[in-house]
Structure 1
Amino acid sequence: MEKEYQDLTVDEVRDFMSSSREDAYQLVDVRQLEEYEEDHLAGAILLPVGEIEQRASELSSSKDTVVYCLSGKRSVAASVFLANHPEFSGKIYNMLGGYLEWDGHYIEDMPNIKVFDLEGSDADLLYQAMNLEKGAHKFYELVLEHFPDAPFRSVMEQLVKAEEAHAHMIYKFWEKMQPDAPSFQSVYESLDGDILEGGLEFDQLAEQLLNEGTQCQNVIEMAMAIEFSAYDLYRNMAHLYSDSPIEKHFLSLCQSEKEHMRIAAEALNHCR
């Protein structure tokens, strides 16, 4: 299933900008004010990701829009928000790698979310979806453990409560495909929650988050990346199960994950 927006590399963005009339597109920086004031791409409109849905009317709805942030994680969520806006008719482009890539500074060893395989059986796909929810659950609990006094704690508490409920909804469909299926709790406890590329363990992730500089922003960006991964998986699964009873449930999960991205985006305001 095609994305609602298109990813462009930095080089592709440069080509796009050089070949387009200035009045035909808009460049949107979705970082925080202090990041924008430190440096930004010439002509970029500042619209922090946590405010983009409420302030989308400040943008042209007919122009093509190039969205960027620092590393590319926040801009993915912003691209989803704009692409789903009912009044936007222009194309939405997400700049991969963000400002750091544009400026020639590459992020080393940042953990990446797994790309999930959609080629398996129905039961395999549902099992992967439960595993994704378990991984998100583990991540949020890890954050709460390592950042007990963080200003974004209430956000993490809100997110962690949703993951097991989502997994339970998916389990109900998975259970019907299994002879003598074990209980939900038994299945959920057995899941690895291995949602990160490269075999990065969660204690390694915690250490990395603690040593990456602006820990608040890094934590929130990772949460947004996890929620987007779930959104993308459920959107594709809804498409795979179109015109079946399960479709509406995955569309409901899509909406929920998009709301989680919005909650996480708003939490960036606590990172100042």
Structure 2
Amino acid sequence: MTDELVNMTSQEVKRYLDENSVDQYNLVDVRQGWEYEEYHLPGAALIPLPELADRLNEIRSDRPTIVYCAAGGRSAAAANLLKGQGFTDVYNMLGGIKSWKNEYAIGPQSLGMIYFSGNETALEILYLAYGMEISIASFYTKTASSVTPELAETFKSLARFEEGHKAKIFGAARQLDPSLKTREAMEVKAAAGKVLEGGITLEEFLERTRNYLDFPNGALEAAMIFEAQALDLYMRCSKKAANSSSAEILRWLAQEEKGHLKILGSMLERKAANP
């Protein structure tokens, strides 16, 4: 990413809101509707994370934007997505609304994307995308064994989709580099993509957030963070890809990840309706 994620504590957000009029900033809640109805910050606009990419026109890009969720993970992904789409003054509220209510929040504050500098070639972008798909598929496969049967089936299905994405990316990479003969060779090229920004591997992330994943909605929220980061990467990279075929594939991948986010969002809604 070209810009580092900027965080604000809940106390800093409170102070900022107190010192500025409501027409000077955007305050965006990226949780689900039922979460918003339970409690939300005054004046916050509800744009659930699965809908964010399709509703960017509802957010004034000429104003500072503060995003928040329950614990800070989904909003960090949302902030990165906004920055990737040209929003320059974006802040993630650390700890989410739980910290605002002075409750102790457990969960990933910000899960780094695969590193994207903005200077990659079309082939390097495909390597990054392949690495992202490896991480997402691995997350679903590893997590499926520790969640409810219904969620496990969804995660397994999503993991199969990600495997299909890898095949499509590999095909596009071979068009740009005919010497790339096997999927194994592609995985070697994409090996750096297995490490999240800041040098955190998928395994380290799962270890650090093991307790969080035990929470009723923890695994779903973590999955939404991953999918939002993939969407962010593909939306950014599709604008940069010089090769029209690569750009088309990246746009297709972005649409796929949008669909996955909506599936996960619907599951959160169902869990709320049938706790």
Taking structure 1 as the reference length, what is the TM-score of the superposition?
0.69
- Mind listing any 5+ residue stretches in structure 1 that lack a counterpart? 84-89
2:81–2:228 CA contact under 8 A, matched in 1: no
Indicate how the Cα distance of structure 1 residues 37 and 227 shifts in structure 2: closer, same or farther if over 3 A, else same.
Answer: closer
Task: Note the 1:53-202 alignment, pairs <5 A.
Answer: 66-75=66-75, 95-97=92-94, 98-100=96-98, 102=100, 103=102, 107=106, 112-118=111-117, 119-149=119-149, 151-184=150-183, 187=186, 194-196=194-196, 197-199=199-201, 201=203
Alpha-carbon RMSD across the aligned residues, in angstroms, is 4.4
Indicate how the Cα distance of structure 1 residues 190 and 93 shifts in structure 2: closer, same or farther if over 3 A, else same.
Answer: closer
Distance 2:50 2:131 in 1: 31
User: What's the counterpart of residue 221 of structure 1?
Assistant: 221
Distance 2:23 2:113 in 1: 38
Indicate how the Cα distance of structure 1 residues 264 and 79 shifts in structure 2: closer, same or farther if over 3 A, else same.
Answer: farther
SS of 1:245's partner is helix
Indicate how the Cα distance of structure 1 residues 199 and 91 shifts in structure 2: closer, same or farther if over 3 A, else same.
Answer: closer
1:13–1:95 CA contact under 8 A, matched in 2: no
Distance 2:2 2:259 in 1: 21
Amino acid at match of 1:201: E
- Mind listing any 5+ residue stretches in structure 2 that lack a counterpart? none
Distance 1:120 1:81 in 2: 18
Structure with more of its chain in helix, by fraction? 2
Residues 16-75 of structure 1, C-alpha deviation per residue, up to 9 Å, x if partnerless? 42343246656454446786687654x25584837867xx8xxx8779664311222233
2:135–2:202 CA contact under 8 A, matched in 1: no
1:49–1:74 CA contact under 8 A, matched in 2: no
User: What's the counterpart of residue 205 of structure 1?
Assistant: 206
Per the TM alignment, residue 78 of structure 1 is displaced from its structure 2 partner at its CA by: 6.1
Taking structure 2 as the reference length, what is the TM-score of the superposition?
0.68
Per the TM alignment, residue 256 of structure 1 is displaced from its structure 2 partner at its CA by: 1.8
Task: Note the 1:234-249 alignment, pairs <5 A.
Answer: 234-242=234-242, 244-249=244-249
SS of 1:258's partner is helix
User: What's the counterpart of residue 259 of structure 2?
Assistant: 259
Per the TM alignment, residue 264 of structure 1 is displaced from its structure 2 partner at its CA by: 1.7
1:29–1:68 CA contact under 8 A, matched in 2: yes
Per the TM alignment, residue 171 of structure 1 is displaced from its structure 2 partner at its CA by: 0.7
Aligned length: 255
Per the TM alignment, residue 185 of structure 1 is displaced from its structure 2 partner at its CA by: 6.4
1:152–1:270 CA contact under 8 A, matched in 2: no
SS of 2:226's partner is helix
2:49–2:74 CA contact under 8 A, matched in 1: no
SS of 1:212's partner is helix
Question: Which sits farther off after the overlay, 184-193 or 140-149?
Answer: 184-193
Question: Which sits farther off after the overlay, 90-99 or 232-241?
Answer: 90-99
